Amino acid sequence: MKIAFSAADEAFRTEVAQWLAEHLQGEFAALRFRGGPGDEHSFPEQRKAWERALAAGGWIGVGWTEADGGRGLSLSRQVIFHEEYARAGGPGRMGHIGEGLVGPTLAAFGSAAQKQRFLPGILSGTQFWCQGYSEPGAGSDLANVQTRARLDDSGEHWLISGQKVWTSLAHEADWCFVLARTQAGSQGHHGLSFLLVPMDQAQIRVQPIQQLTGTSEFNEVFFDQARTASDNMIGLPGEGWKIAMALLGFERGASTLGQQMQFHNELEEIIAVAKRNGAAQDPLMRQRIAQAWAGLKVLRYNSLRMLSGAQDGSLRREAMIYKLAWSNWHAALGKLAMDVLGEEAEVLEGAPYQLSRLQALFLFSRADTVYGGSNEIQRNIIAERALNMPREPRA
């Protein structure tokens, strides 16, 4: 675990901070601290333009190998980039799914032709992706996927039918990676395949889901014989589970330190409110703020332990506790924000109702312990995969 950076790394930190300060101005000034979780519906076109600006500056694919078109930066410098990006208020990334999930998965499992076709669009900030995993009956229990795909009579296209849900920014995406059942009669982890599907077709319908926050960055996606070319499958038929799990491992990469810097920004805002309205004078409130600060430090150190291993999509034991840890910490932070605000937490000026940042934090964080694998599922993963305890009985 590395908790310090070299002088050269710190010089790189200065370079990143200066570039962000220079570019988060003018047309992009309004994007600072916008577009994150619970706010992903904001400024979609401007944030797509921001992706192109990042690409022009060489800030997409910083951790990808040079052979795949990236910069091949060390893990230390990847961490620095993500931390400084969040510190500067860099907007929520429209290209995160492509850069952080699809790109590394293609690099690890894709064919040369697939990498040549798809990686340049991600690196240039011009091609956007969404994730087709969860379904109405297969959220935390991803092995229960029922979306099906079969080859057409020509053998040239997969025909996909089914429904995905909670699909972030599906209405803005050009492509979706879809976990689908390609082997008739298969169950559980078996018979699943990993398909890359173009979104611009009449056989795909995207329906927004409005949330407590009043926003609708999540969607239901319906596939009715949607088509994708037969060579748009990563890996072989039936290897979908292996590839899907590796992708979730890539999700726990260096960007987790950026997520924590966003949490730090939220905590700093809570502290500022507490000082302003007198809540900081309450010893119990000060104790809760101190606990939140200490908890965030623990998240950082565990992430550094997690990142000290191989970055190949495999999940070390340290990685298996990360989602459970951060989601519960963040949900508690949302409650702390409301308690610090006091009466102000429950009051809005009037229609049209615009939530404050801390109100939106509270409402959105209610879902943290459910999406991406509920607390119950996360505890099963820790018990069964990290501690090698007996598997939970299955019906």
| Residues labelled as active-site residues | 251
Beta bridge partners of 159: 150, 227
Phi, psi (5° rounding) for residue 215? -100, 170
Cβ atoms within 10 Å of 271's Cβ, excluding its own = 17
Pairing assessment for the beta strands 219-229 and 129-132 based on DSSP bridges: unpaired
* Angle at CA of residue 304, ends 47 and 81, nearest 5°: 30
Q: Rounded to whole angstroms, how far apart are CA atoms 99 and 82? A: 13
Cβ proximity of 82 and 258 under 8 Å = yes
Q: Rounded to whole angstroms, how far apart are CA atoms 348 and 83? A: 32
Taking Cα atoms as reference points, which of 104, 205, 112 lies closest to residue 161? 205
Give Cα separations from 218 to 10, 37, 110, 130 (angstroms): 38, 11, 28, 10
Q: For 29, which DSSP code?
A: G
Instruction: Supply the angle between the helices 255-277 and 283-307 in degrees, to the nearest 10.
Output: 170
